[in-house]
Amino acid sequence: MAPYCVIAIINQKGGVGKTTTAINLSACLGYFGFKTLLIDADPQSNSTIGVGVQPEDYNYTFYNYLLGNYNLSDVVIKTKFTGLYLLPTNDDLYAADIDLSKIGDDNYNTLASKMGNQISEYDFIVFDSPPHLGPLTLNIMKASDTLLVPLKADFLALQGIAILMKTLDRIKINLNAKINLKGVVLTMFNQSTNLCKEVEQSVKEVLGDIVFDTKINQNVTLAEAPSFGKPVIYYNFKSSGSENYRLLTAEFLKRMKIAKRDS
Ligand SMILES: Nc1ncnc2c1ncn2[C@@H]1O[C@H](COP(=O)(O)OP(=O)(O)OP(=O)(O)O)[C@@H](O)[C@H]1O
Ligand SMILES: [Mg+2]
């Protein structure tokens, strides 16, 4: 069986909630009964650390998988969280953009051609990605079929989304016709500010139904949880951040017409 979908969490802007969404969506999918592989494809290693894994403890990481002779099963580790597996990364991955460029014009296919039938045991694959659109990010987009975009609710949000939509059009034409934007999620939302409400209204006017109803509120628990190496549902289940990500995951599954399993 192939996974239900291979999800790329993408936004070329930094600090918009990509890693927080990758970690917590993956953990909630695992918690809901789906075997989920989180691939930390950002050399900053924030997703790796955020699920309690120390990058320096592993000699073989995403970098070795992408550019070496390793199978997925050689490099994936089982986390201590239900249903959640991790392909960790470390700072070796900073070399990937240059190494990929050296491969030549078809370097964008490196990851997709490696993953092939090696991912069939997972229900979901979730990529955390770097904050720029270099060869590594293009490899992620080629290997994925589903795009989720976290959008920080600030006044530059719409400018960022315009650039991303233009890039997505180019990707669909030139790189991967089967990738689809399946959702935009507003993050770090502060209900009490007019700015956030205005941003939400404008984003919905431009993007319509693609914007999730569930918003991720600004919540300090979400910022604290990674320092304890835990997804928020395992750090503080009752926090609003935990509830937001459980609701987002449920909304995503509904949108994808995938029935929730017993957890
Ligand atoms: N909803 C939230 N409430 C409060 N803090 C948050 C929230 N979401 C993310 N943060 C914090 O904001 C910072 C940026 O978030 P995150 O690391 O997820 O963004 P990113 O897009 O992955 O950044 P980068 O582009 O550098 O990889 C982090 O310190 C994170 O803990
Ligand atoms: Mg990140």
Tens digits of residue pLDDT in 89-108: 999 999 999 999 999 888 99
Reply yes or no on whether the pLDDT at 263 is more than 60.
no
Q: Is 187 in the pocket of ligand 1 (CB under 6 A)?
A: yes
pLDDT recorded at residue 161: 81
Which region among 70-74, 151-155, 158-162 has the lowest average model confidence (pLDDT)? Answer: 158-162
Going by CA atoms, what residue is nearest to atom 25 of ligand 1? 14
Ligand 1 atom with the smallest distance to the CA of 20 is: 18
DSSP 237: T
In 12-156, where does DSSP find H-type helix? Answer: 18-31, 46-50, 62-67, 72-75, 96-103, 110-115, 135-143
Going by CA atoms, what residue is nearest to atom 5 of ligand 1? 223
**Overall average pLDDT of the 151-164 stretch:** 84
Q: What are the CA-CA distances from residue 177 to residues 114, 167, 180 (Å)?
A: 19, 13, 8
Whole-number mean pLDDT of the chain? 94
* Residue scoring higher pLDDT (47 or 260): 47
Reply yes or no on whether the pLDDT at 135 is more than 80.
yes
Q: Is residue 158 within 8 Å of 203, Cβ to Cβ?
A: yes
**Overall average pLDDT of the 16-21 stretch:** 97
* Residue scoring higher pLDDT (159 or 247): 247
Reply yes or no on whether the pLDDT at 83 is more than 70.
yes
Q: Is 44 in the pocket of ligand 1 (CB under 6 A)?
A: yes
Domains belonging to the chain, first-starting first, are 5-255 (3.40.50.300)
pLDDT recorded at residue 117: 83
Going by CA atoms, what residue is nearest to atom 18 of ligand 1? 17
Q: Is 24 in the pocket of ligand 1 (CB under 6 A)?
A: no
Q: Is residue 183 within 8 Å of 255, Cβ to Cβ?
A: yes
Distance from residue 6's CA to the centre of ligand 1 (Å):
22
Q: Which of 56, 18, 50, 57 is nearest to 227 (CA)?
A: 50
Question: How are beta strands 77-78 and 180-187 bridged, if at all?
Answer: unpaired
